[in-house]
Structure 1
Amino acid sequence: MADQGEQASGMLLGSSKFIAKEELIKLVDTYMDRKFDEEITKIEECGGIDSFQEFLGVEFNTGLKTADINEERINAFGSNKKEEKKNDTFCELCWDALGDKILRILLVMGTLSLIIGATLEKHPEYAWIEGFAILMAVFIVVMVTSTNNYFKQKKFSELKNEHKNRALITVLRNGEYFSMHPSEVLVGDVVKLVQGEIIPADGILLKAQRLQTNESALTGENDNVDKEGHEECLKRLKEWMKKGTRAEGDHAKREIPSPIVISGTNVVEGSGEMVIIAVGQYSKEGRISGLAEQDEEMTPLEIKLEHLADRISGLGLGAGIFVVLILWLRFVIELGTGANEWDTGDSITDLIYAVIVGITVIAVAIPEGLPLAVTISLAYSVRKMQKEQNLVKRLHACETMGGADCICSDKTGTLTKNVMEVQRYSVDGSVYDQPRFKSLFEKHEDYFAFLKDAICLTSAARLEKNKKNDTVEIGSKTELAMIKMLVSLGHDDYMQIRQNVQKSVLVTNPFASKRKRGSVIVGYSEDLVRIYVVGASEYLVKSSKRQLSLDATQVDIDEDRRQSLKKDIETMAGQGLRTLGIAFKDLAADEMDKLNEFDKKGVPVLEKNGLTLLGIFGIYDPPRDEVTKAIQDCKTAYIKVRMVTGDNPITALAIARSIGIADDNSIAMIGEDFRKEVGGVICEECKTELCDCPRNSKNAGDKKVRNDVVGNFDSFKRIIGHLDVLARSQPEDKYTLVTGLKQMGSVVAVTGDGTNDAPALRKANVGFAMGIAGTELAQEVADIILLDDNFSSIVKAVKWGRSIYDNIQRFIQFQLTVNVVAVTCAIVGAVTVKQSPLMAIQLLWVNLIMDTFASLALATEPPTDALLKRRPHNLTDFIITPRMFKHIFGQAIMQVSILFALFYAGEYFIPEYGSGKRILYNPKSEDHVRSGRDYHFDGEKDYYDYSSDPDIGPSRMMTFIFNVFVLFQLFNEINSRKLLDEWWILGNICHTWLFMGIWFFTFGVQVIMVQVGSWAMGCHLDGLTVEQWFICIAWGFVPIVWRFLIILIPFKTKIQIDDNKPASHLASSIHKGSQSLKRHVTSNYNP
């Protein structure tokens, strides 16, 4: 063996009797760098596929023996127990959270404020608190974000582990097939591959039946790759060599199928057997970590908020610099006019104070509450959505669903219960109901024997008992329906029938969506080779020449009988039944050489004609109880739902009508016709279906990344308005539909459960994978996993998506009002009297504590059904609507006006009560408070000396102003719950207990701050009197009254929307119009 290998190809022995693993790795890499046939040639240079039995120490017909499974093999080739990608630690998640631009700005500002406050401020004993509190705000955001991400990745890990426990593969050992976990396989193991499986390791195919894999995780290319056993590949290569023609570019490497299959890729169609040549860290998947991972992009909402924050921060920076320059200019003018004299200590302090005021203005302007509001809203929503059966994998999906205007949904298991039952059976010109099955088949035993064999051998479904003695259903639900029918008739020996012919099975062609059929060929004897076929009824009727009558004789299918069969199909389909044909054919001697011949669509040529039809099943899969209401909710929410299914178009349309997706004007198109009509999917740049353009930027280099578009966009636009059901569809049809809808500007959500659905799930704005029926790849690429496989859970996701968007808008409306008022006060006050009406520490309380509480209160408003009564928002819309602008600036103008009136003339109308050293009255008006401004307009000192007097302390007038300002924000927080000019602002407030609790808690803390905050909060040492508190609360009500006046102000939106026109009108109107299209589509359906 060694000599042969070394002489032929330079392959080297490892440290043991086996071939060196490095040589096997080179073989895999040869395939990955394939230009045409390099890996096939390399295998032949090694002595052919049989030589690998010696290289790997295995016999292909028996698999590894017990004695072969030892440490020597593991030491030579490694183990397939892959090191799982560890979840990020909490510290790593915290570091990731600090990557947010706004948080980095806040870190810098907080640090500067902390240093300046502790060293240069007039009262450093508490001035440091401002910077510290900003840093605490950053800490809170980071903690909330990290905690949310931690629990999200933990839940997804649990789901993946649950899938891994179910993901067993079939391995040949000691001449028998066993089910085992992929981590247990070794180099040399012979493994069966079936549709839907993820290939556990690198290997060479020994045999394959129409096997295709999807290698997008490695290459980014969504196209399926044909695979064949090595001997078949060699045969194809020799045939090509006789022709001598070769395709160009990337097409050449797919011209001859390859026998090499790669770990981590997926079997999307067919079946086969492989011998494993590389496992674990030495496999291709192991050597390239994170191939299937995607960087989590910024969400659309985060992008909008970052742009908003950048604008606000830019304005704040400009305002801060403006204040510093004005204060310095005023200082210079006062020196020049003699109004002020240079004193080194005081003058330098004044100059530094100007910088502090500027920094304060910048700090106030920065919307530090925004990231916290987004974080809280997403964390709250994701947690709640999980309880409603939506496991969110990518946060952008939450927001994007709020803008979704189109949902492309699978039927089986999503719109229906996926609990299938045979209810009708068409045979010999009659249709029988389920209650008559037993008497029918007992009376016609010979016929039933044919039918029973056909059912048992064309399916792999089975019923088993678990440890609790409960019946467990394994396999396709459609196949299970037929198996359960047999069991209900007292025939539970289906496994025995399969075992009896196991060694006689010549070819198995698994059911494939592309062919709409599956088959098995059994060689009972040299004289009797029979093919059993099960599949789409209309296709089998078309392929059948005869029908087996109930007396077990074959009769020709003449035109009358064929029309009768078509009528039976249409009748059952019109009742919402899935129709499934079953047939057989005894092969003639001259057909034996065609066992592995297929047409262009992958249909075995032996199945295309000459079949004997046994009958047609009518299988019922009832709609989910809640799906009709969910569909109606989507219509009300202006969301178009389209059904994408593999069913007969009449069946699909009947079910679509029964649940409200379709009406009498709706049409169903067959997937193949739809694809042809719209020209399929092509590269936008090359205008061809196949091209050399890379699929992602990772593999692009200098090339332009391919962007898929539909080939005939005008035709797509003409069709799509009338299309409610896409029937007999294949995964590429769903991909074409999603591509076209996105090209039209729609925000598309799509559901998928199969491996073949991965491209469409990736392409959609939001991909929903099934948590129960979904394959591992479908769940891997999806944005949200439906834990209950239920369509109504998608509608809940829509509500939460819209709620998140609204909640952020609520907070922005509140936050920007606070910021506009605070910044205006700081600028005008500093410029006019060298003092803001609000001290830095007071602004901090508003900016930090109230923003934190407000974000928690406003960002956790639960969704209501009212959210489903309006159109979805557009992803390109500015997040601040005209209505919001109206309320933000309307409230800001009112608040600034009142605060300046209090600041500049409060000593004339703010009443004072009591007596004592700390109670100072206005000399000009003995019933009112003394002015609390540090300076007069001319720069002369006013309250300045009192404010630093330990026996008197901060001004009561300024305390009153601070309290009014906070109460303005508290009452405006109630206003901010409403975004649409609603008159009744307390709507649903009793259901938002969190909002109510936080509001009263904030009010309580404000009372404490004012009454006992004293020096630390810049408040009067005795706080405010009861009478003054009542006056402040009365002022606090003004924003609510003022809101009613703002509502009356007209405004113009960019898009006029008639909210009174029901969605059903829109939904029905798009079905009316082109009757020629309807006739064209209907005429193309010919069962």
Structure 2
Amino acid sequence: MVIFYRLMEFCIQSNDLKIDESSLTGESDHVKKGESFDPMVLSGTHVMEGSGKMLVSAVGVNSQAGIIFTLLGAAVDQQEAEIKKMKKEAKKQRKKKSLTGDEENVTGNSHMNSPAPVANKHDEAQDGKENHVSAEKSSSDSHRKEKSVLQAKLTKLAIQIGYAGSTIAVLTVLILVINFCIDIFLTNPRPWKNTYVNDLVRHFIIGVTVLVVAVPEGLPLAVTLSLAYSVKKMMKDNNLVRHLDACETMGNATAICSDKTGTLTTNRMTVVQSYICEQLCKTMPKFSDIPGHVGELIIQGIAVNCAYTSRVMPPDEVNELPKQVGNKTECALLGFVQGLGKNYQTIRDDYPEETFTRVYTFNSVRKSMSTVIPRAEGGYRLFTKGASEIILHKCAFIYGHDGRLEKFTRDMQERLLKQVIEPMACDGLRTICIAFREFVPGKAEINQVHIENEPNWDDEDNTVNNLTCLCVVGIEDPVRPEVPDAIKKCQKAGITVRMVTGDNVNTARSIATKCGIVKPNEDFLILEGKEFNRRIRDSTGEVQQHLLDKVWPKLRVLARSSPTDKYTLVKGIIDSNISDNREVVAVTGDGTNDGPALKKADVGFAMGIAGTDVAKEASDIILTDDNFSSIVKAVMWGRNVYDSIAKFLQFQLTVNVVAVIVAFIGACAVKDSPLKAVQMLWVNLIMDTLASLALATELPTDDLLLRKPYGRTKPLISRTMMKNILGQAIYQLAVIFSLLFVGDQLLDIESGRENIGKGPTQHFTVIFNSFVMMTLFNEFNARKIHGQRNVFEGIFTNPIFYTIWIGTCFAQVLIIQYGKMAFSTKSLSLEQWLWCLFFGVGTLLWGQLVTTVPTRKIPKILSWGRGHPEEYTEAIAIGEEKFDLDSDKKPRAGQILWIRGLTRLQTQLRVIRAFKSTLEDLEERRSVHSLHSLHSLRSSRSHTGPWPPRPLSDITYIDEDPATTKLSPQQASKTSERDDQRLLSPNTLRLPPHHPQFAHHAPSPAANAAANNSELPKPVHETRI
């Protein structure tokens, strides 16, 4: 699978070559290319079938895509320049009106005296500005991405915490103000002084500080840090994450639909059994034991009817195995030829690809590949290889004992299937049949076809029929040694693994058994694609969900399946309602036709080695090693993201509860908060920025796979977490209030309650320091959210955590001892510091007591962040709504505040996409040239060459992902979830109507470099799928 980026090429040799030009023309049908018809291959298009050689004729901005894309960039710059010019002219006009305003008022005809062209120009500027703004708005609001499960739960939780915090903040301000008014105007009536304004402002600041502490603005940072850190670390685990939300979605995965070849197996194939001339060999046969004419046909059929890009190379080291380059199945057959002592390259030199008469390339429908070559004696010879049971049904003859030609009857076919092919498949071997057919102009033998003229090669069904079977080989593809253990971990983690493969059902059953997907005597289904479709479709051939719901829960292996079957299975599992929680499905794929299934899945895994570009573009994560065990690591990282956010929430909510209640009770009891505004902001810094960095970078452990998936409806704050939050809050509040009311007597220091507004005191400094110490030591407790007792387990595996913790402690010492008026603190003695440390260490001991309390006694109503993600749609929509300040309906100030707060929770999750967009814009600017040169270049190109250019449709958007330009309706919604599209209206671009616009990637530096060196000789590219 190849995508041509920034190239324009001419096809000089092709075999059944078909190109997807939907990104250029908007047409979904594949376009056939050839030397004598439509040979031009344009940039941005995809090779979907076949193979060919191309002569590069233009690269970079000289290609058709480069010209149009540069036009778009130049047009945007021109539009921006026009808008700036209009704004300047409008500003000059306003200045002119302001200078002549008095005179105009006297005459009373200011509008009449104003020059009409200026007014028109001003209106044009306004129109241009409005068009520009509307284009930006349509770009941002063109689609609303469906929020992931974690995002939805965090949004719901933020709303709940925000309402609670705002309520207490308002009450705190009211109580402080009421107490102040009672004291000034009622208890001891005094005249109003201007200095009282400072007191009211101080009360208001305390309320705002409570609100700042209560609102969890550190959540976006924690989410972003956790995701970014996980994505970076996942690269080392061979997971290239393309969409951030896929990382946390894997934590909820309940089903994995995996390919077999290369994912569950090593994808290093070798021929271990062969059936030639009624002789079954379980070792490598000798060429001398094979009848001469049969052996020559087998070697020629393998050498010619395999992609010439598939080769077996000598090993780099003496004791290593030969290197397989290209298709692994074909490499196994070529290795079989070498094992017979023959050189396949000699035959390829005699039959270069240019001499091929016709090639029927392999695809999921044919499940075979056929090549027609000319015979030296005249006529043609067709070689075919493919799935054994399919090819055998097309065979009418077979070479028997001693190479005698025999008719291949149905009974012989059934006997061969049962006695040879099925035992091979039961051993986990992939069986391949090799056959041939000859077309001769003269006298024809019984297995030959007499021809007068060249056959109709387009009639494939009649051409590839009545074949002569040469041999059947069994190819071994061993199971990866780490896969059985990985699948066992998935099953313990509550994840169902299903194998979806195109191999024989017996082969699939054997591999599934070796992997541990199915076990003997288990009541699970192993179906072929035909039987699967028969069970799930009604009499009209339509898929029925209720029928599919009877199949998929027990289905473990789907053999001889097509990409359509995979898509149907994935869609059916996702759309099923037979359980309370919707299944979260991950899918692996490597082929172009796997794109729909990868898009439909909650998480799509593409193969980095064997995967096509279309599959990679449709995926969320790319497995750089094509290994199933890497998927298990992705599950661990996904669950670790959930745990990291939960740890941060457990820590932050404890601080929130304590700080808010202390501020509130302090306002009621002592008419001031024991924790000053700057002190609470320091605590807010500890619990937001530093804690998110410390707790969001924990490494995953194998214990994550011992739990079931979280599920879409499980609350983000579990009862165990709420028990820890409330338990620690009770301890800290007891300590703080004890210090507040009797701490001055206990420590024999001056009371801070009687010195309100008279500067910092040691009393309130001890309260502040004890609170910070308890918060810091509680950070250890927050590392465990599932009731574990050893809170120090694995602490030294995260140097970020203990570095931040030690640094925060050091900063706290400096603040207490040297902060003074800046932090409203007074230096403490050693004894007072020991008391603060004692209270801090007490949180660790208290945490052990809290862990002992049974979780089942905690009411479920205390679990926050519960509910279906669909319930959050309205709240999320409010957070993203863009209010028009000129509209009749004005939002309330409080509503605007919460809207902005909720929007912040969404913003940082878009950081990476913003960087991506910025980089692409920079690359666009580099390719901008003058419109005049582009018009002349395009004009000169349009009048040269023997082939007229293909018409281009005028579509009005730029899609950053060419793989999404050809999608079925079912995939459209998935595309809108993951791809940011930048809409550019004709008014914004100001392009002439005849200018083509199409979807394409931004130019890469490599492409620009190629454009700068376009005078060099153009290379010949060879492409094969």
TM-score normalised over the length of structure 1: 0.66
Partner of 2:781: 975
Q: Does 1:874 align with 2:711?
A: yes
Judged with a 3 Å threshold, the aligned counterparts in structure 2 of structure 1 residues 825 and 508 are, in CA distance, closer, same or farther, namely same
Q: Distance in 2 between matches of 1:1051 and 1:220?
A: 59
Q: Distance in 1 between matches of 2:54 and 2:848?
A: 77
Judged with a 3 Å threshold, the aligned counterparts in structure 2 of structure 1 residues 652 and 498 are, in CA distance, closer, same or farther, namely farther
The one-letter code of the counterpart of 2:47 is V
Judged with a 3 Å threshold, the aligned counterparts in structure 2 of structure 1 residues 287 and 669 are, in CA distance, closer, same or farther, namely farther
The one-letter code of the counterpart of 1:414 is T
Give how far 1:1035 is off.
Answer: 4.5
Q: Does 1:944 align with 2:750?
A: no
Tell me if the contact between 1:446 and 1:551 (Cα under 8 Å) persists in the aligned partners.
no
Structure-to-structure mapping, 1:622-1021, within 5 angstroms: 622-664=478-520, 665=522, 666-679=524-537, 711-744=543-576, 745-908=582-745, 910-911=746-747, 928-933=748-753, 942-944=754-756, 947-948=758-759, 954-1021=760-827
Structure-to-structure mapping, 1:321-400, within 5 angstroms: 321-400=170-249
Q: Distance in 2 between matches of 1:294 and 1:524?
A: 59
Partner of 2:936: none
* Equivalent position to 2:430, from 578, 586, 600: 578
Partner of 2:1014: none
Partner of 1:90: none
Tell me if the contact between 1:316 and 1:362 (Cα under 8 Å) persists in the aligned partners.
yes
Q: Distance in 1 between matches of 2:623 and 2:452?
A: 47
Tell me if the contact between 2:19 and 2:46 (Cα under 8 Å) persists in the aligned partners.
yes
Partner of 2:64: 283
- Structure of higher RCO (CA pairs closer than 8 Å, 6+ residues apart): 2
Partner of 1:139: none
Partner of 2:1019: none
Partner of 1:227: 31
Q: Distance in 2 between matches of 1:389 and 1:358?
A: 49
Q: Distance in 2 between matches of 1:465 and 1:620?
A: 19
Tell me if the contact between 1:1012 and 1:1022 (Cα under 8 Å) persists in the aligned partners.
no
The one-letter code of the counterpart of 1:640 is T
Tell me if the contact between 2:11 and 2:39 (Cα under 8 Å) persists in the aligned partners.
no
The one-letter code of the counterpart of 1:1051 is I
Q: Distance in 2 between matches of 1:511 and 1:806?
A: 46
The one-letter code of the counterpart of 1:988 is G
* Equivalent position to 1:528, from 379, 383, 402: 379
Q: Does 1:463 align with 2:315?
A: no
SS across alignment from 2:773: helix
Partner of 2:889: none
Q: Distance in 1 between matches of 2:143 and 2:60?
A: 22
Partner of 1:266: 46
Give how far 1:581 is off.
Answer: 0.5
Deviations 1:787-813 (A, max 9, x none): 111111110110111111011101101
SS across alignment from 1:413: coil
Partner of 2:275: 426
Tell me if the contact between 2:13 and 2:354 (Cα under 8 Å) persists in the aligned partners.
no
The one-letter code of the counterpart of 1:976 is A
SS across alignment from 1:545: strand
TM-score normalised over the length of structure 2: 0.70
* Equivalent position to 1:450, from 282, 291, 297: 297
Tell me if the contact between 1:270 and 1:512 (Cα under 8 Å) persists in the aligned partners.
no
Structure-to-structure mapping, 1:35-184, within 5 angstroms: none
Give how far 1:538 is off.
Answer: 0.2
Tell me if the contact between 1:814 and 1:973 (Cα under 8 Å) persists in the aligned partners.
yes
Deviations 1:631-665 (A, max 9, x none): 11111111111111111111111011011112234
Judged with a 3 Å threshold, the aligned counterparts in structure 2 of structure 1 residues 378 and 231 are, in CA distance, closer, same or farther, namely closer
Give how far 1:511 is off.
Answer: 1.2
Tell me if the contact between 1:662 and 1:724 (Cα under 8 Å) persists in the aligned partners.
yes
The one-letter code of the counterpart of 1:828 is I
Give how far 1:230 is off.
Answer: 9.3
Partner of 1:86: none
Tell me if the contact between 2:490 and 2:705 (Cα under 8 Å) persists in the aligned partners.
yes
Give how far 1:192 is off.
Answer: 4.7
Judged with a 3 Å threshold, the aligned counterparts in structure 2 of structure 1 residues 215 and 791 are, in CA distance, closer, same or farther, namely farther
Q: Distance in 2 between matches of 1:571 and 1:287?
A: 58
* Equivalent position to 2:463, from 606, 619, 624: 606
Q: Distance in 2 between matches of 1:1032 and 1:717?
A: 58
Q: Distance in 1 between matches of 2:862 and 2:414?
A: 54
SS across alignment from 1:961: helix
Tell me if the contact between 2:337 and 2:343 (Cα under 8 Å) persists in the aligned partners.
yes
Q: Distance in 1 between matches of 2:701 and 2:312?
A: 44
SS across alignment from 1:371: helix
Judged with a 3 Å threshold, the aligned counterparts in structure 2 of structure 1 residues 750 and 717 are, in CA distance, closer, same or farther, namely same
SS across alignment from 2:788: coil
Q: Please list every run of 5 or more consecutive structure 1 residues that lacks an aligned counterpart in the other structure.
A: 1-162, 170-181, 195-208, 234-257, 681-686, 690-709, 912-927, 934-941, 949-953, 1057-1087
Tell me if the contact between 1:429 and 1:565 (Cα under 8 Å) persists in the aligned partners.
no
Tell me if the contact between 1:545 and 1:612 (Cα under 8 Å) persists in the aligned partners.
yes
Give how far 1:392 is off.
Answer: 1.3
Q: Distance in 1 between matches of 2:214 and 2:26?
A: 44
* Equivalent position to 2:397, from 517, 530, 546: 546
Q: Does 1:490 align with 2:302?
A: no
Deviations 1:866-924 (A, max 9, x none): 1111111113433112222222223223322332232133233x22xxxxxxxxxxxxx
Tell me if the contact between 2:261 and 2:267 (Cα under 8 Å) persists in the aligned partners.
yes
SS across alignment from 2:550: helix
RMSD between aligned residues = 3.5
Tell me if the contact between 2:263 and 2:626 (Cα under 8 Å) persists in the aligned partners.
yes
Q: Please list every run of 5 or more consecutive structure 2 residues that lacks an aligned counterpart in the other structure.
A: 74-138, 440-448, 577-581, 864-1025
Partner of 1:938: none
Tell me if the contact between 1:429 and 1:561 (Cα under 8 Å) persists in the aligned partners.
no
Deviations 1:129-157 (A, max 9, x none): xxxxxxxxxxxxxxxxxxxxxxxxxxxxx
The one-letter code of the counterpart of 1:457 is V
SS across alignment from 1:418: coil
SS across alignment from 1:873: coil
SS across alignment from 1:412: coil
Partner of 1:1050: 857
Give how far 1:406 is off.
Answer: 0.8
Q: Distance in 1 between matches of 2:299 and 2:803?
A: 67
Give how far 1:741 is off.
Answer: 1.4
Tell me if the contact between 1:964 and 1:1036 (Cα under 8 Å) persists in the aligned partners.
no
Percent pairwise identity: 40
Give how far 1:295 is off.
Answer: 9.8
The one-letter code of the counterpart of 2:675 is L
The one-letter code of the counterpart of 1:679 is R
Give how far 1:212 is off.
Answer: 4.9
Partner of 1:414: 263
Judged with a 3 Å threshold, the aligned counterparts in structure 2 of structure 1 residues 885 and 269 are, in CA distance, closer, same or farther, namely same
Q: Distance in 1 between matches of 2:852 and 2:282?
A: 69
Give how far 1:736 is off.
Answer: 1.3
Partner of 1:197: none
Tell me if the contact between 1:960 and 1:1024 (Cα under 8 Å) persists in the aligned partners.
no
Tell me if the contact between 2:8 and 2:42 (Cα under 8 Å) persists in the aligned partners.
no
Judged with a 3 Å threshold, the aligned counterparts in structure 2 of structure 1 residues 266 and 883 are, in CA distance, closer, same or farther, namely same
Give how far 1:545 is off.
Answer: 1.1
